[in-house]
Structure 1
């Protein structure tokens, strides 16, 4: 049955439906980046809240600033902005229809409709899911990259910007001129200190446009830090088939694991939905939660993805079932990542690792190693390099993390161990591929990418370990290198 409001009553009784009157919803949040993660995470939390009859004036209006976003707008618009979200447990499948989104702003050149909607006084939160690499942060300096071509382009046309940050600044400028209090800017991306990163990007860019406006933003706009978590694969034919098996015709369904978590700083001057009533944790100690999640989970994804992919494991749970890959994951986590992670009220690092082990091993989700290998040039500096830096500073082992870097380099050389060609899998793939091929003979070339490795690449001990592992991988193969590491 085609997903639409008029068809909901005909769906199977086991499918969870919105228990609230969607016509009673009113706008409160603009969310930019309507990918699978947002629809399986923030949209679900709000759907839960609305199902309790609470805060119906905080509905989501979707938005995007890239050409593919127009396709998502068309797909969701055709089904009344409803989303099918299917939780896949090891032994259970539970489908629900999520109705917390009420509209999707037209995606246009210059982002005029988006700026207008953010200028609307009813907009009290602007939320972002624009990927880890979408914040214009220099990996080398960790600060706003004012030289990025997209920023330079927006600087020439600040009233008709291409980027979401240019649009945010234009809307804040208009609200200031109208005497309207500023909205809160809430990042929902997997970034250490995502609120602080967002703040630095917005203020850094604003200073290039208008110093007085930048000072007003710095003094008036809130950028809460937050940690978000839910494994959400990309949508393909399999996911559409699962929706069809549930009796729903939806071209853009979302599948995900049952687990989800959201931790936020309570910094919302214009108010916020009562998300604590549906399981969101509000705390001043978001950084401990995000360090645990980003290093153990996101870092762990990299630990299984590159060796798993090279050894022919297409799916993440297959990588976890591979004895060498799973043992590598456990040893690197326990010896080189966990020692630099603090406990949080809900979990010790050791208990969190056990949770992650089970989540990665869930065969129903069918997350791919290719998705986990995607965009290493942005993810490695955020998920892996912090653990390396901490290990070097503490004088503890980083041998397994050096091996992981060598495996990433070998992956970027463009072929699996059986000779299968790897399709480009990074925005900087051409550069990474050329560097990885050259690094086969001169390993130091890989670590010389300062925009990725920074000072870590110049550390003599780490460089020596990396070179040893890369030579071993090329000479004897991934499996042999993993055995050598595991044998100590």
Structure 2
């Protein structure tokens, strides 16, 4: 017998389920967050829930927002259960569940007028976002905001009725400026190097299309703190629904399963105030960049490295990939020989210790994180997580064999089949184009590297081109498994 999640049912949940120690009705809206996906509900919402449970900062309640059709689906699912979420943390040693109540409302996607009005409310002092790496309208190769994107051009032409996240944020800032209200802080929580700078470029870049004086006002008055966020949070499937019902007796429309580990390093730049998140484990620093680079290149780069050989070898779960010696040893060799040596030092964080932590997290059998999830959106992730390391090594005159292998594995994956002939179904805004160029690359590897918006100058490097081409031909001739063996034996 399961209990349908709702505020009224909290007292009826099993004793082993943690419930909020505060009343949702005691919270006041202080943050609007765009992108109420699994990661946000396992990360920022959890930190705030812990703070509210400590009996403090109740003026920082979360209000959800979004612009996609999927956002409305999530809104309806959460509305049915009073905006509550069951978060299940698990590893090989334990599984615990608790219900969070830090979100108090969710604005209807498509209702621009209401969203702008809420953004203009003086009580809203932070606007945060998790809209994925591909949601920032930036050129993948250069990382520069693209003001010519059709969605941005459309918002600039009708900024009173915007359709994008950045259009809504700008419209809210315009109203606050006109009404003499201090601007809110804009806080990105996406895995993008310099995410605060990237967000600033997007908002001010859109503003420049509307009014150059407005753009300058934003650059001078709006804070965009950089951040580093971390928690492995897979997608919710029937598996998670069934585990929650069986182990905890809860019927939740959209529960979140995640690892116990979480991390948030945040630049302390909030002119109109912020919640005291340092009380619940958030690290506030002057410079996030070293932490961010370490995480993006070791963890996210590591995910990108193991995703495609595992997919080509028909491996389903991430922990199963780590149980395959060839993949585990490939990751270790790549990280220690090519990724870690070009990273700047991080205060109080030895890279070897951090990598060992990453290996343990990737190996967690309870998470159920899938290789398919890691493979998606490669056209955005490769230029952010892999190719910058390749560029750094090329500039330093160092070997890029392992990194060339990562790129070649991605190309082979994009061709559409695994080594056994099964289809490689994946989500990517450029999926059709990637497949066309990957199939061309079977005979002419340079065809894939000719996508300069992805590979940039790396794709023109003679050293990288030769290495990539040789390895891609080996992958087609011998398959992923044998190619990994050759790499590990220094014969590739």
TM-score category (smaller protein): over 0.9
CA distance in 1, matches of 2:474, 2:51: 53
Question: For this pair of structures, how many residues does the alignment match?
Answer: 487
Task: State the shift of 1:243 in Å.
Answer: 1.5
CA distance in 1, matches of 2:94, 2:143: 42
Residue among 458, 478, 481 paired with 1:479 = 481
The structural deviation recorded for 1:344 is 2.5
**Structure 2 equivalent of residue 105 of structure 1:** 107
* Paired position in structure 2 for 1:278: 280
Question: Residues 342 and 348 of structure 1 are in contact (CA less than 8 Å); yes or no, is this contact kept in structure 2?
Answer: no
Which whole-Å CA distance do the structure 2 matches of 1:342 and 1:39 have between them?
Answer: 31
The one-character-per-residue Cα deviations of 1:90-116 (angstroms, maximum 9, x if unpaired) are 12100000000000011125x222111
Structure 1 segment 260-279 matched on structure 2, within 5 A? 260-279=262-281
Aligned to 1:372: 374
1:32 corresponds to: 34
- Counterpart position of 2:255: 253
- Which residue of the partner structure matches residue 313 of structure 1? 315
Provide, for residues 184-222 of structure 1, a one-character-per-residue CA deviation record: whole Å limited to 9, x for no partner: 000000000000000011111100011111111111000
Paired position in structure 2 for 1:86: 88
Question: How do 1:319-398 residues align onto structure 2 when only pairs under 5 Å count?
Answer: 319-398=321-400
Contact map agreement 1:335 1:397 (CA 8 A) in 2: no
Does the CA-based 8 Å contact 1:233-1:366 persist in structure 2? yes
Deviations 1:436-463 (A, max 9, x none): 0001000001111111110000000000
- State the Cα deviation string for residues 348-379 of structure 1 (Å, max 9, x = none): 11110000000000000010000000000000
Aligned-partner SS, 1:5: coil
Displacement of 1:280 after TM fit?
Answer: 0.2
Matches within 5 A, 1:43-442: 43-108=45-110, 111-245=112-246, 246-442=248-444
Deviations 1:321-358 (CA, angstroms, capped at 9, x unpaired): 11111111000000010001233234211110000000
Secondary structure of the corresponding residue to residue 227 of structure 1 = strand
Helix, strand or coil: the match of 1:6? coil
Question: In 2, distance between residues paired with 1:386 and 1:136?
Answer: 19
Q: What is the deviation of 1:422? A: 1.7
CA distance in 2, matches of 1:148, 1:349: 39
Give structure 1 stretches of 5+ with no counterpart. Answer: none
Instruction: Tell me if the contact between 2:110 and 2:163 (Cα under 8 Å) persists in the aligned partners.
Output: no
Q: Could you tell me whether the CA contact under 8 Å between 2:311 and 2:424 is conserved in 1?
A: no
- Return the offset for 1:141: 2.7
Deviation at 1:251, TM superposition (A): 1.6
CA distance in 1, matches of 2:10, 2:143: 47
C-alpha distance in 1, partners of 2:143/2:42? 29
Q: Give the TM-score taking structure 1 as reference length.
A: 0.99
Deviation at 1:40, TM superposition (A): 0.1
Does 2:16 match 1:18? no
Distance (whole Å) between structure 1 residues aligned to residue 342 and residue 133 of structure 2: 22
TM-score (norm 2): 0.98
